[in-house]
Amino acid sequence: AQTVTQSQPEMSVQEAETVTLSCTYDTSENNYYLFWYKQPPSRQMILVIRQEAYKQQNATENRFSVNFQKAAKSFSLKISDSQLGDTAMYFCAFMNYGGATNKLIFGTGTLLAVQP
């Protein structure tokens, strides 16, 4: 069974600085996606970034980038130039693909506070 581990329950960063959120996962599959979701106080689940396992190049979306280390099964999220609106819970997630159903498995989350 796949598992996703986020070892940082809470983190804090000063506005305009850079922060990295950690995520590790365990799987025996070769074909999968990895995701970072943001959940602000509104409770909405917002996709931040995704990474296909077969791609060696790290995904980037504006201020958000990942460090994907497939052999180490590590998938960290870097937020550059942190903004107050980045304050939220961040979830790392794993999805196997190619089967009948692609289930999304979540980590326990990291609560990020951006300080002014």
Kindly list the residues in this chain that would bind other proteins in the complex (CB under 8 A).
Answer: 4, 6, 9, 33, 35, 43-45, 47, 50, 91, 95, 97, 100-109
What DSSP assignment string belongs to 39-67? E-TT---EEEEEEETT--SPPEETTEEEE
Question: Nearer Cβ to other proteins, position 16 or 35?
Answer: 35
CA dihedral 106, 92, 86, 47 (to 10 degrees): -80
Least distance to other proteins, CB of residue 59, Å: 12
Least distance to other proteins, CB of residue 107, Å: 6
Question: Nearer Cβ to other proteins, position 14 or 30?
Answer: 30
Q: Is 79 exposed, middle or buried (0-12, 13-18, 19+ CB in 10 A)?
A: buried
Question: Nearer Cβ to other proteins, position 107 or 112?
Answer: 107
